Structure 1
Amino acid sequence: MSVDAVAGSAAASSSRSSSSSSRRAFATINPVAKLAAALLIAVVLVLSIDPVSAGVALVLEIPLLLAAGLPWRTFWLRTLPVWLGAFTGAVTVALYGVTSGEVYVEWMLVRISEGSLLLAVATFLRVLAIGLPAVVLFVTVDPTDLADGLAQVVRLPARFVLGALAGMRLLGLLASDWRALERARRARGVADTGRVRRAVSAAFALFVLAIRRGSALATAMEARAFGAPGPRTWARASRFGGREWALIAVGAAIAVVAVTVAVATGAWNFILGPG
């Protein structure tokens, strides 16, 4: 093997190791901090529909997205719904949005104007700026860690948090039950015709199975004193330190800079104001 090949292999291995370590470090940040950072950005961007604030926020979010250390394949697969939602929303606004300025195309209900195109761009950037950090920040979040953080850091009621956690844990079982029902019906020869009727029947069977499993789970949790009043003990402590505050500060800084630039350029368009 040549020296160049060895050097290239070592560089690739080092890059993968660095990405993996970055991803592990990001995964250990308290989920409450990730939720707070995403909410800070989202709440501010929801207040205005303009391309400047959304565009500035999207650019400032790039280092944050890269810090998550996600492989590119994982990034595109996880964020694909966000890109599709942003594109379809922008197209809809461009075709049927509020008409203002010069009208470029007018056909039946479709009316594409200067104002609708500007609004479509703002919508596209706005959906990306809100959706991308939310998806990327929560890729590495474990539901149990999130429940621990909400109960111990935010001090939400333990009954509500544990009930929601139990429901989240059962979502994967629903998919497995659906596949099991499909295989069982196919083995009995009743899955060859009538797709709509078969889907409705399977959905009803899945609904009944979910109710039974939920009742059994509720009884088991109550037997283990999950609904008892008074303070609870937790198997794992949810810690909130400097890294968490730093992530929240980054989210707040992105929101403040985006609003400041939009107001300074006169692009800020408060959706509850006169427009």
Structure 2
Amino acid sequence: LRIGADTLVNGGGLALRLVAIVLAGLLATATSDPVDIADALVQQLRVSPRFAIGVLAALRLLPLFAREWQILGMARRARGVEAGRSPIAAIRLFAGRLLSLMVGAIRRGSRMALAMEARGFGASPCRSVARPQRMRISDWGWIIGAVALAAGAVATSLALGTWRPLLG
């Protein structure tokens, strides 16, 4: 295992890409109503309603998961489980807390899927639209801006000679 300047630059570039993707997703979900996102997925992008409702359910559960993460931390502190200064113990405790959160998420998701099936969701092939979504000028402006930003990033990478496509 050799760590050189190239390796660090590549790792930093990948980390920045990941941060950019996560921040864009956070910005989109924090500023938009989850129901509007699900409606737009079905009406504008022609995604299946089943997938869109899954996205809606996930977006609605995010605040619950954040609260559950806090509760898990408080429960560990109440029991006196602390990592101290050991980074290995901190990683082990983080992994255990993450596993507990994931188990709870899977259980909650299974119960939600069962409840949706019991209510007949997905039984009808065509669904009516309660709130029609229209593309506005501002929507087109955001799309054009995002495409221009992505094109600028690619052009900068090509100009600097650092362009490394994911599949290539």
Question: Are 1:264 and 2:159 counterparts?
Answer: yes
Please name the residue that 1:229 is paired with. Answer: 124
The one-letter code matched in structure 2 to 1:218 is E
Please name the residue that 2:134 is paired with. Answer: 239
Please name the residue that 1:137 is paired with. Answer: 28
Q: How many residues align?
A: 151
Equivalent runs, 1:8-23 vs 2, <5 Å: none
* TM score, norm. by length of structure 2: 0.61
Structure 2 CA distance for partners of 1:247 and 1:217, relative to 1, 3 Å: same
More displaced 10-residue stretch of structure 1: 117-126 or 239-248: 117-126
Q: Secondary structure at the match of 2:149?
A: helix
* TM score, norm. by length of structure 1: 0.41
Question: Are 1:219 and 2:118 counterparts?
Answer: yes
Please name the residue that 2:39 is paired with. Answer: 148
Structure 2 CA distance for partners of 1:265 and 1:160, relative to 1, 3 Å: closer
| Separation in structure 2 between the aligned mates of residue 124 and residue 179 of structure 1, nearest angstrom | 26
Return 5+ residue gaps in structure 2 as ranges.
72-77, 81-92
Once the two structures are TM-superposed, the CA of residue 238 in structure 1 deviates from its matched residue by 1.4
The one-letter code matched in structure 1 to 2:14 is T
Structure 2 CA distance for partners of 1:155 and 1:178, relative to 1, 3 Å: same
The one-letter code matched in structure 1 to 2:50 is R
Return 5+ residue gaps in structure 1 as ranges.
1-108, 181-190
Structure 2 CA distance for partners of 1:209 and 1:228, relative to 1, 3 Å: closer
| Separation in structure 1 between the aligned mates of residue 104 and residue 20 of structure 2, nearest angstrom | 40
Higher relative contact order (CA 8 A, sep 6+): 1
Equivalent runs, 1:175-214 vs 2, <5 Å: 211-212=110-111, 214=113
Once the two structures are TM-superposed, the CA of residue 120 in structure 1 deviates from its matched residue by 3.3
Q: Is the 8 A contact 1:177 1:206 kept in 2?
A: no
Q: Is the 8 A contact 1:259 1:268 kept in 2?
A: yes
| Separation in structure 2 between the aligned mates of residue 206 and residue 129 of structure 1, nearest angstrom | 26
| Separation in structure 2 between the aligned mates of residue 264 and residue 206 of structure 1, nearest angstrom | 44
Q: Secondary structure at the match of 1:123?
A: helix
The one-letter code matched in structure 2 to 1:141 is S
| Separation in structure 2 between the aligned mates of residue 128 and residue 177 of structure 1, nearest angstrom | 24
Q: Is the 8 A contact 1:151 1:157 kept in 2?
A: yes
Q: Is the 8 A contact 1:159 1:227 kept in 2?
A: yes
Equivalent runs, 1:22-37 vs 2, <5 Å: none
Question: Are 1:120 and 2:19 counterparts?
Answer: no
Structure 2 CA distance for partners of 1:272 and 1:154, relative to 1, 3 Å: closer
What CA RMSD, in Å, does the superposition of the two structures yield over aligned residues?
Answer: 4.2
Q: Higher Cα Rg: structure 1 or 2?
A: 1
